Structure 1
Amino acid sequence: MVADGTKRSRIGMGFLVGAALVAQPTAARAFNPFGLFGEDKPAVTANAVAYDLQVQGLDGKSDVLTAVRDVSILYRLRQEPPQTGDELVRRAEADIPRIVDALWGSGHYAARVSIVVGGQVIALDRPASGPVRATVDSLRGRALVPVAVMIEPGPLYRFDRVAVLDQRSDLPFDPAELPPRVVTIAPGDPARTADVLQAAAALSDHFRDRSHPFVKVGRRSPVIDHTARTVDLTLLVDPGARAGIGGIGVSGTKQVDPAVVRSFIYAERGDPYSRRAMADIRRSVARIEAIGGVRVREGTALDANGQLPVEVEVTERPLRVIGGSVRYSTIDGPALKAYWAHRNLFGGAERLRIDGDLFYFTGPQNWPGGSNRRGFNTDDIGGRLSASFLKPALWGTRNDLLVDAFVQRELTELYTSNVVNGTAAIRHRFTDSFNVRAGIEGEIGRSTDVLGRFDYGLLGLPLAASYDTTDKPLDPTRGVRVTASVTPYLGFGDAPDAFVISRIQASTYYALDDAARTILAGRVAFGSILGGSIGAIPASRRFYAGGGGSVRGFEYKSLGPRTLGGIVTGGMSLFEASVEARVKLTDTIGIVPFFDMGQAYAGSVPDGSAPLRYAAGLGLRYYTAVGPIRFDVAVPLARRQGERPYAFYVSIGQAF
């Protein structure tokens, strides 16, 4: 059919589905950016009709060309030549209405399309003749058949009137029920199908987030005015019934107790339904290490109580995992690491993990507790052997048992530490974002640093809380993350009789745009030790600042109280703060200017006894499916003698 170009016409073929007018070949230059058409030509063979495909008439319209390419059978099968000329002609005839629909969907409602095959024109009202097929067949095995898609896109049509109506009354919604900002299409915008589909999705999301699980968004046939080159659009919305969450079922478990999965579902029967509620179920269940995939299926109808039943389908991960790594540090030297884990030890998603880390310390000569660096020495070997056990959902509750133990020989430029430590704790999950933990800890160790050697024992009662509303663990774009801990200790041997170590860190993330391409992120941390003195607290328990997770630009643990000889001893309190702007330049590349500050102090509170140290820098991010790869270069400000002029850091994930 042919659309009337002189008066307003109501097209009844479905939204943005058009027709084609015959266009004679013109001398338009072929448009072929990036080799999308014509560059990857097929080889000429005796048993196939290979063809050379070009598109003409789309100069400077790369977005329209992409739409044409996406629907074109000729393009998609260009490397699979047909066996006969008749098959090639059928491809061309099938392409014409597809290409016209793509042009209408791009806002070109007066488009004219034809395809020239072997010098013969094919159009909707001009089907291929027998001579066309014969001409094509005569080129088989001799030469590529020239195929040209001839397009006259015509002017770009724009929306004139855009209306969103309540289908139940055929009247506009009250702004309180549907704010105007939900639908961003406005008069004067290009009349593109993609924008209409996006508006329909936004409407559906809006009402689903307001507990309407069965919202339906339709549209009336558009009214197209070819004289004015405008389109009138009417979207019809039926919100459907408001509903809460009904019964929640669990399926797919084979070796994991379903009660464990249920304990990680925080939604309750009768809670308001929303997309966020469904996403929260999926995210919280995925935290179970034995679970690999989570799918939340919504019911197709409301139950007898007017609520929406939900089914949580899970798939389980392999029971065992083993891994390892080899690394080298210019500060610490070579190191090996290996680990083994079982994700479902007794059928209740119990996780047992064993880690081994071994390294050879190559720090400076005459460091505390080490050798003099003359050849290989066993005193320079350090490492850690640890085991951790997690029993989630004790008796089907939201209480988890955590048991950790390790033996460690820690070697740094500041101190050496030999430690045996064990901790047992109960964690209660109030929600997916908030939990508290209480336990008991024991440690026996020996610490050697510039202040002397200390043999000690500790018995502690650690208490901790975590609140995390961020959306991504390695690359958060919104939310708040707060962790706090306080542990009172009884000391034995050279340790103080009683002291308390506490620490709190908070970070926040704010997106400046809807696409989260620019994020402002900030972090602040505070630590304090009450009781005892610096000389009595084991060196590994004191506070230090500096390094990639602290004040970038300064060496690791290089900031804090010092002896008269300038050696860092560690402090009784800590203050750190960071701010950075995470700016995506492309979907995979970003830059991050940042500013850090911090210091460790001799007193139990940051009292200004030492000046804050500052650093600034610029980071590069490469975004992957796992998380961003971070490369930061930082420069200490007001650098002092002996401090390095810069430092760089490479890791997976953001700095905080």
Structure 2
Amino acid sequence: MFLSFACVLLGGVPSTPAGAFDLFGWFRKSEEPPSPSASALPYSLEFSTGGDSDLAQALKDASTLQTLQSDPPPDATSLVTRAEADLPRLIDALWGAGYYNARVTIDVAGVPLDLQTSRTDAATRAAARYQARALVPIRIVADPGSQFVLRNVDIRDARSKHPFAPSELPQRVVKMQPGDPARSADILAAEARVVDHFRAQSRPFAKVRHLEPVVFHPARVMDVTLGVDPGPRAGIGTIAIQGAEGVDPAVVRSFIYTEPGDPYSPAALASMRKSIGQIEALSSVRIREAESLDSFGNLPLFVELTERPPRIVGASVQYSTTDGPALRAYWAHRNLFGGAERLRLEGNIFYLSEDGGQPGRDDEWTWDNLGGRFRASFLKPALGGTRNDLLAEAMVERDRTEGYTSRFVNATAGIRHRFSETFSVQGGIEYEKGQTTDVLGQIDYTLVGLPLSLSYDSTDNPLNPTQGVRLLASVAPYPEFLGSSVPMTVARGTASAYYSLDDEARYVLAGRLGLGSIVGADLEDIPANRRFFAGGGGSVRGYRYRTLGPTFLGEPIGGRSLLEASVEARIKLTDTIGVVPFLDAGTAFESSYPDFDERIRVSAGLGLRYYTGIGPIRLDVAVPLNPERGDPSFAVYVGIGQAF
């Protein structure tokens, strides 16, 4: 499905420059100065720091000459003024890196400028000679000298004037000690960590009262004194809800799992924002803290909300070499009756060929070759102001895959209870009536079941998790006494975990394990669309979709159990670009439990990630490691969000 899309993007017009397709700025070069003219005085710019690339970058980040190089001044006087204004900025940048004896000279057309001497007129005359002729050569020369180090680091209670005990303020929080480089950024970062540490100890008013860095130039050292007022301990006080008048406040309160009197912490507030943010009718959640404690020693909070537009309409058109053409459209209302009720209607139309793929040239088009899916879903959160949500869904589908064809109607209704923002349990009833046909034969079936599921999600980001765990487990018995024509019980579980190897989450290990089992019925009696299959983008990448598992006469028939596993190393090369080597494995089995009669299929691959504000854009290339006849040599997948 995705391979054809990639080919169009990368190879559709080979004579077109790469920049024409540069959707994300990957191929853009730095802006060059314009050509000399009578109305502008452009300049070339060179940085000399003795080969220290980090210092050179720090100077470039601080330099107005660098930032405005593509917007040259009109004359020599303005250019020299711009250069002189850069001198204190560049000195500050070097001081911030711990070089407090640094010197900076800006050479304008051969005339050096520094903070000690003034040669403005000479530099102006020299630069004016280049007007409308050539770029004015400017060279920034930095002599940083020796980097200063910390000699004494003294962090005290601003009230008692006594140093904090290690039990009150561990060294792992401060992360500064004698001998470290005396960088201002490190000192400010330590200041922020200390304040965050005390706020996490239920002290909302923790602050640094004074910061005294003292530099000793001859010794090239710095002493730092930090006076910190931890403030009083506090609990969470009353929680007032403001804004979003169109949404029932009782619904919002049901998504707040913190009670007045609970210990205050920034983590509790972040958890509150995350849980309230699950309400689809809301676009933003801001929690404002009161400026003082109440009479009980608690901190009142104000939850400020804004609403989303209630209605949303969308459509998409797709085409692929494996699935053929497809159309999709949907409409949703996110606040139907004023209680954040969500109603969503979605329709899909797609082509059905004999093998589940695209139409062949000799295929005769008929209405029978159209498949489709229509789904209507309804969510009523916070029934009666409780943490119970009503969910209902109805779906009609006609589909054909490489292994089977199916048509059915399905309806479910259930109640979900939210224990917390991370843990919920759902139970309900399900009805499905349909027909499936595969190489084993045709099955006309009715299923009436009582599905039960639990969900736990402690991850930090739904599209790009870097830490936490996700668990989803479900069991659905379809007993004969309720009217099921195929008495069976279907169980499935998926677990994934994420671990960041560094504080910036530039290196993340991710793993996923999936299991499934069907008991109570023989394989040939189970509707084909209810059996387990592996393979494809959400399973074992590199293999065809839903083709891994038992076969009969060379056709996939699915199994009664499933085993899948994936491991990824997510590595950020820059703030926006990352690579992901991965390994997938899995298959379906004929028995109700994985007995390994089927060979575990394995694939490996490499992914590219482009990180955006809404989530990473994913491009994965996977290669089967133990392919069988008919398996592709590789597969390409494109999507938004991580693979799991």
Q: TM-score, length-normalised on structure 2? A: 0.86
Instruction: Calculate the aligned-residue CA RMSD, in Å.
Output: 3.3
Equivalent position of 1:13 in the other structure: none
Distance 1:644 1:104 in 2: 58
Distance 2:127 2:362 in 1: 82
Equivalent position of 1:617 in the other structure: 605
Report matched runs for 1:424-439 at 5 Å. Answer: 424-439=413-428
Structure ID, larger Rg: 1
Distance 1:342 1:642 in 2: 45
Q: Is the 8 A contact 1:456 1:492 kept in 2?
A: no
Report matched runs for 1:439-588 at 5 Å. Answer: 439-490=428-479, 496=485, 498-563=487-552, 565-588=553-576
Distance 1:190 1:606 in 2: 57
* Gap change, CA 1:644 and 1:392, over 3 Å in 2: same
Q: CA deviation at 1:431?
A: 0.6
Equivalent position of 2:621 in the other structure: 633
* Gap change, CA 1:435 and 1:180, over 3 Å in 2: same
Q: Is the 8 A contact 1:496 1:532 kept in 2?
A: no
Deviations for 1:134-159, whole angstroms, at most 9, x for unmatched residues? 95998797778777656443322222
Equivalent position of 2:375 in the other structure: 386
Deviations for 1:485-526, whole angstroms, at most 9, x for unmatched residues? 111214599964532111111111112222222222222222
In the alignment, structure 1 segments of 5+ residues that lack a partner are 1-33
Segment drifting more, 326-335 vs 62-71: 62-71
Distance 2:63 2:527 in 1: 72
Report the number of matched residues: 616
Q: Choose which of 175, 180, 183 in structure 1 pairs with 2:171.
A: 180
The yes-or-no answer on 1:332 pairing with 2:323 is: yes
Query: Which letter maps to 2:424?
Result: N
Q: Describe the SS at the equivalent of 1:597.
A: strand
Q: Describe the SS at the equivalent of 1:335.
A: strand
Q: Is the 8 A contact 1:157 1:191 kept in 2?
A: yes
Distance 2:360 2:483 in 1: 24
Query: Which letter maps to 1:604?
Result: S
The yes-or-no answer on 1:354 pairing with 2:345 is: yes
Segment drifting more, 133-142 vs 515-524: 133-142
Equivalent position of 2:305 in the other structure: 314
Q: CA deviation at 1:604?
A: 2.1
* Gap change, CA 1:382 and 1:97, over 3 Å in 2: same
* Gap change, CA 1:362 and 1:373, over 3 Å in 2: farther
Q: Describe the SS at the equivalent of 2:524.
A: coil
The yes-or-no answer on 1:249 pairing with 2:237 is: no
Q: Describe the SS at the equivalent of 1:484.
A: strand
The yes-or-no answer on 1:284 pairing with 2:275 is: yes
* Gap change, CA 1:627 and 1:125, over 3 Å in 2: closer
Distance 2:525 2:72 in 1: 82
Distance 1:200 1:315 in 2: 33
Q: Describe the SS at the equivalent of 1:181.
A: helix
Q: Describe the SS at the equivalent of 1:535.
A: helix
Q: CA deviation at 1:171?
A: 3.2
Distance 2:479 2:603 in 1: 38
Q: CA deviation at 1:352?
A: 1.1
Q: Is the 8 A contact 1:245 1:269 kept in 2?
A: yes
Q: CA deviation at 1:198?
A: 1.2
Query: Which letter maps to 1:181?
Result: R
Query: Which letter maps to 1:505?
Result: T
Report matched runs for 1:293-312 at 5 Å. Answer: 293-312=284-303
Segment drifting more, 184-193 vs 421-430: 184-193
Q: CA deviation at 1:582?
A: 2.1
* Gap change, CA 1:105 and 1:643, over 3 Å in 2: closer
The yes-or-no answer on 1:164 pairing with 2:155 is: yes
Q: CA deviation at 1:246?
A: 1.2
Equivalent position of 1:18 in the other structure: none
Distance 2:65 2:610 in 1: 36
Q: Is the 8 A contact 1:208 1:274 kept in 2?
A: yes
Query: Which letter maps to 1:441?
Result: E
Equivalent position of 2:254 in the other structure: 263
Q: CA deviation at 1:356?
A: 0.8
Distance 1:318 1:85 in 2: 53
Query: Which letter maps to 1:629?
Result: I
Distance 2:609 2:132 in 1: 52
Q: CA deviation at 1:468?
A: 0.5
* Gap change, CA 1:532 and 1:67, over 3 Å in 2: closer
Q: Describe the SS at the equivalent of 1:176.
A: coil
Q: Is the 8 A contact 2:49 2:141 kept in 1?
A: no
In the alignment, structure 2 segments of 5+ residues that lack a partner are 1-27
Q: Is the 8 A contact 2:460 2:468 kept in 1?
A: yes
* Gap change, CA 1:113 and 1:442, over 3 Å in 2: same
Segment drifting more, 110-119 vs 229-238: 110-119
Distance 2:357 2:192 in 1: 67
Equivalent position of 1:604 in the other structure: 592
Equivalent position of 2:14 in the other structure: none
Query: Which letter maps to 1:463?
Result: L
Distance 1:645 1:321 in 2: 41
* Gap change, CA 1:138 and 1:333, over 3 Å in 2: closer
Identity of aligned residues (%): 53
Query: Which letter maps to 1:426?
Result: I
Q: Is the 8 A contact 2:414 2:427 kept in 1?
A: yes
Q: Describe the SS at the equivalent of 1:171.
A: coil
Q: CA deviation at 1:73?
A: 5.0
Distance 1:44 1:243 in 2: 65
Deviations for 1:549-572, whole angstroms, at most 9, x for unmatched residues? 222233222122333x23222222
Query: Which letter maps to 2:249?
Result: P
Q: CA deviation at 1:43?
A: 5.1
Q: CA deviation at 1:275?
A: 1.8
Query: Which letter maps to 1:299?
Result: A
Segment drifting more, 459-468 vs 635-644: 635-644
Equivalent position of 1:417 in the other structure: 406
Query: Which letter maps to 2:559?
Result: G
Q: Choose which of 263, 279, 291 in structure 2 pairs with 1:272.
A: 263
Distance 1:613 1:122 in 2: 69
Q: CA deviation at 1:211?
A: 1.2
Q: Choose which of 15, 28, 33 in structure 2 pairs with 1:40.
A: 33
Q: CA deviation at 1:306?
A: 1.3
Equivalent position of 1:7 in the other structure: none
Deviations for 1:293-317, whole angstroms, at most 9, x for unmatched residues? 1212122222221111111111111
Q: Is the 8 A contact 1:534 1:572 kept in 2?
A: yes
